[in-house]
Structures are given as C-alpha cells and as structure tokens.
Structure 1
Amino acid sequence: MKKIILISSCVLALVARENPFTPDDINVTTLDSTNISENPPKLNRVVAKFPSDAREIVTATFSYKSVDGSIKQKSIDINASFDWHDDIIILSQPPVSSETTPSLDVSVTTTNEQTKQAVAKQATPKPLSVLPKIEPPLKSIAFMDFIKFDIFASKIEIITKDQMFRDFIINKPDKIVMDFKRGSEFSTQSIKVQKGPLKKATIGAHKDYYRVVLSLDGNYHYAIRQSGNGYTLTLR
C-alpha cells in the first residue's frame, strides 16, 4: 500500500504545473493589467455662449476628475466685463514662455557719450505715423428727411433737429421707445436692420408728435444724452 501511494505522488508531481496561477496556453490569455481608465478625447477648443443679460464674468469654475477618480473643482477669479455677443473660448495650449528684453550691447571701446546717445535712442518712443481711426457705423437708416440713425456696436447716433420729450424701455421683447415733437402725418413705417444691437426700427405719427420704437436683440441698460447732431443712445 505504501508503495502504491509513493508511486502515485511521484506521478502527480511530474504532471502538476509549477505555478497553478499561470494559464495553460500563455499565447491565448494576456497577463497585462492596468489601473488606467479610458480617457475622453483631448481638450482642444470649447466655445461658450451667454444669454443677453450677461455683462460680467465673476468666476469660472471647472469640475475635473483627479488621478484617483474623485471629482474636484477649481475656481478662477475673473471679475471682467464682456460683450454677451462674443464667444468665450477655452483653449488647451502649452505654457507661453516670457521673452526677455534684449539688453543694450555696448562695446568696451564705446565712449560714454556714445553710450548715452544709444540709451536715449532706445528710450525715445517713436512718433505715431497713423492717425486715430474713426469708427464708421455698421449701418445707417433714415425716415423721410427729419431723422436718421447711425448704428454702432454698442451705441446708436440719432441725428435729428426734433426734440425728444419722452423715452422708456419695454421688455420681452426688448424695445426702446422714444417720442419726438413734430406735427406731421405719415403712415407707420418699419425697417429691418439686423446690425449691432438693433433688429428693427419702427416709426409712427401721432397728433403732435411721432414715436420711434427700436427693437433690440437682447436685454440692455440704456442711456440717452444730447449730442451735437441730436442724441446718442448708449447700450450696455
């Protein structure tokens, strides 16, 4: 009996694998392991749009995934005004290295007077050769011969000799209403603009005045002041 048990043990020792955790066919099963999860696409360019009542960006808060898989947040103080029409773009790019200002190369043979002249030449600002650019209006419209509107990105120049005696704003949809003194009769007219903040301008006559209604593309604060040719309507 002892001989039978001894022979059986030897046979099992020859048949058994050295490592029971190694698969039978090493070519079929991979032994690679990893704790790296699949990443989303690399950040390139993200565009954000804001509603028409946005005027300032206070902070930007990013939620990000840490290496341990937890979700964390990073807030950046901005405190800057902006035009809500603009795209706010987030870009991923390598850090920009600051360029050092080249130093003045003064030879050992240069005299003190020559050095002073070279330093003064570098420090003297170059005169402006280009005159300040005058901004042209995006579009100009006129009703008959007594009122004209020059539309800019954030203001409207109202060119008229008539006196404005009332103005107010209407929301949803956003409109600015202005009444001017003039005793004339004409049919109500409307002009589609679609430039800057102005979508449409409508003018209609009443008994002793006429009314101008400016339809805007969003929610604005406005201010009106007298100017040399009439009035300036500022939108912000």
Structure 2
Amino acid sequence: MRFLFLLIFIVCLNARINPFEPVIKPHQTQIVKPVFFKKEVVYLPKDARVLKKVIFVYQTLSSDIKQKTIDINKNIDFHKPIILLHKSKNFKNQKAYFKYFYLYIQNKKIFIKTKDKLIRSFFLVKPFRLVLDFKRYSNIPTIKKEFNSFVKKVVVGSHTSFYRVVIYLDANYNYKVIKKKDGVEIEFY
C-alpha cells in the first residue's frame, strides 16, 4: 500500500498541467518575413554558344530540396547577360459580405471585419485550407462564395456556440493571424 502511495506521489510530482505543451520553449517567437528574390544577372563564359538547360533547385515549405529542369537548347550570345526576374503576382482586390462579417482580400492579405472573438485557427491540407472559428451562438445555413485569387472559395457554417470560416487556398502557405480590435488580419507568405 505504501509503495502504491509513493508511486502515485512521484508521478504527481513529475506531471505537468498541459502534457501537450512543449518542455523547451523556442527562443525566437517573432515570425521573420521572408526576403523575396527579385532579379539576378548572369554572364556566361566566352565559350558558351548553346544554352542546353536551366536547373532550378528550390526548397519547399516542408524543407525538402527539389529541382526543376527546363530544356532550352537554343543559341545564345555570351556578350549579353541572362536575366532572371521574379515578379510577385498582384491579385485583384475582392470583398464579400457574409451574415456576421465582411471579408476583404488584398494581395496576399485577408481581413475579416467582425466584432466576434476568434476562438481558434488551424491549417489543413488536401485541399489546402485555413479554418477560423468565431464565438457566436448562431444557426445559419452553410454559405459558399467563390473567388478568383489565391483564395479559391470561402465556406461559412454554424455550430451551436460558434461559426466556422473555411478559406480554401490555391497552395500551401505560411501565414500569420493578427487579432485587431475590429476583426482579424491574416497575412500569407
């Protein structure tokens, strides 16, 4: 009996309130915005006459290293540089009204204007979507709206104590959710 009591006592001393909370806290809590590639000028050697192929080696969001090969097989003038440009796509500003909020899409940002409190947010794959839950007792039918942007569609549905906003995206993104006094801003990169 004493052994059982001692075992329970030792387990209670070692237990944490939240077992899913990491023991080691990260030192850097700020999200660093990435610096985007804009332009690179490459001069080929003097003996270059035919550009056979270009190989792009890139890193994915899951840190995998992959490559894409583009066959060119065309004559070139080595006196002139090869210029590689990366232009960000600007999406058309769009807005939509839903029963409890306004949704604004501008470039790679979404603003949800609402007085309701954000309970939780999480990201799912297959298809890529961001899920946001807002506190409100409601009973609205499911609403779907299509968009022509990096946001493909938005689906809003109600549960008993909250309503859920599901934002379907065209690809996997890193994102940051910022709570504002008049809503929520989501920045994708």
Work out which of the residue numbers 74, 93, 105 in structure 2 matches 1:138.
Answer: 93
Q: Which residue of 2 is the match for residue 130 of structure 1? A: none
- Runs in 1 of length 4+ with deviation above 3 angstroms? 55-60, 64-75, 92-95
Instruction: Structure 2: give runs of 5+ residues left out of the alignment.
Output: 1-34, 56-75, 81-91
Over residues 7-52 of structure 1, what are the superposed CA-to-partner deviations in whole Å (9 max), with x where a residue is unaligned? xxxxxxxxxxxxxxxxxxxxxxxxxxxxxxxxxxxxxxxxxxxxxx
2:167 aligned partner:
214
Q: Give the conservation status (yes or no) of the 8 Å contact 1:193–1:200.
A: yes
Residue in structure 2 matched with residue 233 of structure 1 by the alignment: 186
RMSD of aligned alpha carbons? 3.8
Q: Which residue of 2 aligns with 1:185?
A: 139
* 1:154 and 2:143 aligned: no
> Which residue of the partner structure matches residue 36 of structure 1?
none
* Residues 116-143 of structure 1: CA deviation (Å, up to 9, x unaligned): xxxxxxxxxxxxxxxxxxxxx7011011
Higher strand share: 2
* Secondary structure, counterpart of 1:194 in structure 2: coil
Alpha-carbon distance change, 65 to 138 in structure 1, aligned in 2, over 3 angstroms: same
Greater relative CO, 1 or 2 (CA 8 Å, sep 6+): 2
CA deviation vs aligned residue, 1:80-125 (integer Å, no higher than 9, x gap): xxxxxxxxxxxx9987xxxxxxxxxxxxxxxxxxxxxxxxxxxxxx
The 5 A counterparts of 1:69-88 are none
The CA distance in 2 between the partners of 1:68 and 1:152, in whole Å, is: 44
The percentage of aligned residue pairs carrying the same residue is 28
Aligned-partner Cα distance in 2 for 1:71–1:193 = 40
Note if contact 1:65-1:72 (Cα within 8 Å) is conserved in structure 2.
Answer: no
Superposed displacement of residue 59, structure 1: 10
CA contact (8 A) 1:202 1:212 kept: yes
1:66–1:72 CA contact under 8 A, matched in 2 = no
Kindly tell me the number of residue pairs found equivalent between the two proteins. Answer: 122
For 2:96, give the aligned amino acid: I
Q: Under a length normalisation based on structure 1, what TM-score does the superposition of the two structures give?
A: 0.44
Q: CA deviation at 1:186?
A: 1.1
Write the letter of the residue equivalent to 1:185. Answer: N
- TM value normalised by structure 2: 0.54
Please say if 1:175 is aligned against 2:124: no
Q: Tell whether the 8 Å contact from 1:157 to 1:232 is kept in structure 2 after alignment.
A: yes
Larger proportion of helix: 1
1:171–1:184 distance in 2 versus 1, CA, 3 Å: same
Please give the alpha-carbon distance, in whole angstroms, between the structure 1 residues aligned to 2:188 and 2:112.
13
Q: Following the alignment from structure 1 to structure 2, what is the Cα–Cα distance between the partners of residues 68 and 218? A: 38
Aligned 8 A contact 1:223 1:233 in 2: yes
Mark the CA change 1:68 to 1:156 in structure 2 (over 3 Å): closer, same or farther: closer
Distance 1:203 1:188 in 2: 6
Gaps of 5+ in 1: 1-54, 76-91, 96-136
